[in-house]
Amino acid sequence: MALKPTIIPMSPVSPLSSTFAKSPVSPVSTNYAPYMAAPNPSARNRYSMLPTFKHRRNDTAISIAPKVPDVPTGKGAEPHNIIILGNSYAGLACAHRFLDHCIDRLRITPGSPSYRLIIIGPSTHLYWNISAPRAVVAPGLIKHEDAFINIEEGFHRHRGQLFTHIQGTCNDLDPELRTIEIDLHDFEAQRKCSLLLPKSEGFDPKTPAFDIPRIQTLPFHAIILATGTRTPSDLFSLHGPHHETIASLTSIHAQIASAKSIVISGGGPTAVETAGQLATYLNHASHFPFRRKFKSPKTITLISGGQTLLPRMPAATSTKAEKLLRKLGVEIKHNVQVLHTQSWFDQTGATKLSLSDRTSLITDLYIPCTGLKPNSEYIADGWDLKDDSGYILTNSTDLRCDMAGSRIYALGDVASNTQNNLMDVYTAVPVLMHNLLVDLLVFELEADRPDGGHEARIEMLRDEEFVQTPEGERTLSPISRWGGVGTWRGWKMPRVMVHLLKGKRYRLGKTGKVVVEGGNPYASRGKWE
């Protein structure tokens, strides 16, 4: 017998709407209002991503979640870029300080953005140019693997943080648009930078590297200018990728070996140390207990360019340095400057130097150690953000670049308050990073309540002030194998202490402290020995 189908009458009201019909309160307020009112931004955003459903039987929309805003906030927003230009001592110190002490203290309001740290520099390796005066002399005295330290490996302990290291050079900084233009050095840098662009401008991760432009523009929320200075020769500072300096060191080792005469220009620590190291290792067979010269020593001449050597140090220290150099056989010329050089003056490859006293000097090898220039070409002169020498105008108290706009800072040798002293960098870093943290917190509080309401909290945030050490108070200059001259916090250093603190290994045991921790290479405490 055939079964008759049973017909079940359908309700004119949908099951979903009938479920909520028993309650006089709307579905949104009953089920999801607690989540929408929650102060935790992650809870709110989780439900804001739910889609908007429509009833199948009619066009009446039943919204079970708030609409996603056109401009996302909190975790849904683009991270704000904190950019550090420069990846030498100052830049590394700022980067580690931000990741260790600042980033976890941010995001104090529900709508606060996330932050991403980007460090940009021309080289993948830090050049330990503290040891450059000895590295110049001969191969093996300072090994290349010791003097050039991989930077990205030093940030391994920060894995998981929003951090990127990019090899590139800044071509332009626009303080009004708050962007920087970067010339990226290789395909890997191009790929890294493309992933940091805003989503509306970015490239697909699968895009071939050769299709990604070499010059890209990044926005910044805050920026630290720590690009430093450069010497005329890339023997003493990086002028680009580190392998260029390695090639220059290899080349000059061959030139020194064949040269009979060497001229060094400059009267500062680099020139004095270089002259002393050349005379020590090239002209003397032994030093302890008695110094013995080679039979055919090289002629080494130091042109100071001033009245004394080491002009920033006390007069007694300068006199002692000159005495040590003369004992090593270095000829010193004062009150004379090199005005012009002519390479390959003759068929022997010699260099002709035109001096300020209207005389000339012909030498087999010329090493310039004078004429520092700030790496600030990325700031156009039209912005009026640099002094006459090219240094970036910086508030010497709080280290902000007041004329450039908010959250722009300068540190180290590129700043207008520099003494070209490494010790100043590590005194200034805690002050700058504290003031950066204050500025970021103020921005979060003001963005949270644009009409006011956080005045009391903002008032509690106080700046720190940078107190600069007087010139010449902390300088060490190894000259001979067993000693040199120096002052430390106003005290005259014995020769043996100069040897132990710097001359013995030029602080190579502290490379890890600088690259891995962002610490001071002259700090006595720590595991890096």
- Condensed to tens digits (0 to 9), the pLDDT of residues 107-132 reads 999 999 999 999 999 999 999 999 99
Task: Look at residues 455, 467, 460 and name the one whose alpha carbon lies nearest to residue 398.
Answer: 467
User: Could you give the CA distance from residue 499 to residue 101 in angstroms, rounded to a whole number?
Assistant: 35
Residue 369 pLDDT: 95
Residue 523 pLDDT: 84
Beta pairing class for 215-219 and 292-293: unpaired
Please indicate, yes or no, whether residues 333 and 294 belong to a single structural domain of this protein: yes
On whether residue 391 sits in a domain, the answer given is yes
Mean pLDDT in residue range 242-255: 97
On whether residue 427 sits in a domain, the answer given is yes
Domain boundary residue, one of 417, 438, 460: 460
Please indicate, yes or no, whether residues 264 and 301 belong to a single structural domain of this protein: yes
On whether residue 18 sits in a domain, the answer given is no
On whether residue 247 sits in a domain, the answer given is yes
Please indicate, yes or no, whether residues 224 and 164 belong to a single structural domain of this protein: yes
Residue 78 pLDDT: 86
Q: Is the pLDDT confidence value at 28 over 60?
A: no
Please indicate, yes or no, whether residues 80 and 201 belong to a single structural domain of this protein: yes
Please indicate, yes or no, whether residues 208 and 255 belong to a single structural domain of this protein: no
Number of domains within the chain: 2
Domain boundary residue, one of 460, 486, 508: 460
On whether residue 31 sits in a domain, the answer given is no
- Condensed to tens digits (0 to 9), the pLDDT of residues 184-243 reads 999 999 999 998 988 767 666 677 767 889 999 999 999 999 999 999 999 999 999 999
DSSP annotation of 70 reads: S
On whether the pTM is more than 0.75, the answer is: yes
Q: Taking all residues of the chain, what is their mean pLDDT, rounded to a whole number? A: 85
User: Which CATH number belongs to the domain containing residue 287 in this structure?
Assistant: 3.50.50.60
Please indicate, yes or no, whether residues 196 and 82 belong to a single structural domain of this protein: yes
The pLDDT > 90 percentage for the chain reads: 70
Please indicate, yes or no, whether residues 364 and 496 belong to a single structural domain of this protein: yes
Q: Is the pLDDT confidence value at 429 over 80?
A: yes
Q: Is the pLDDT confidence value at 46 over 80?
A: no
Rg of the chain, C-alpha, whole Å: 31
Sign of CA dihedral 29, 31, 37, 42: negative
Strand partners, 386: 392
On whether residue 486 sits in a domain, the answer given is yes
Strands (E), 140-297: 148-150, 163-174, 179-184, 215-219, 222-225, 229-230, 261-265, 284-286, 292-293
Domain boundary residue, one of 415, 436, 460: 460
Confidence of residue 345 (pLDDT cuts 50, 70, 90): confident
Beta pairing class for 474-478 and 484-488: antiparallel
Range in 15-29, 112-126, 341-355 with the lowest mean pLDDT: 15-29
Domain of 333, in residue numbers: 242-371+473-517
Please indicate, yes or no, whether residues 193 and 85 belong to a single structural domain of this protein: yes
On whether residue 24 sits in a domain, the answer given is no
Which DSSP string do the residues of 484-519 spell out, in sequence order?
A: EEEEETTEEPPHHHHIIIIITTTTGGGHHHHHHH--
- Condensed to tens digits (0 to 9), the pLDDT of residues 383-414 reads 999 999 999 999 999 999 999 999 999 999 99
Please indicate, yes or no, whether residues 394 and 411 belong to a single structural domain of this protein: yes
Please indicate, yes or no, whether residues 222 and 247 belong to a single structural domain of this protein: no
Please indicate, yes or no, whether residues 215 and 171 belong to a single structural domain of this protein: yes
On whether residue 7 sits in a domain, the answer given is no
Please indicate, yes or no, whether residues 367 and 510 belong to a single structural domain of this protein: yes
Mean pLDDT in residue range 294-301: 87
User: Could you give the CA distance from residue 303 to residue 269 in angstroms, rounded to a whole number?
Assistant: 13
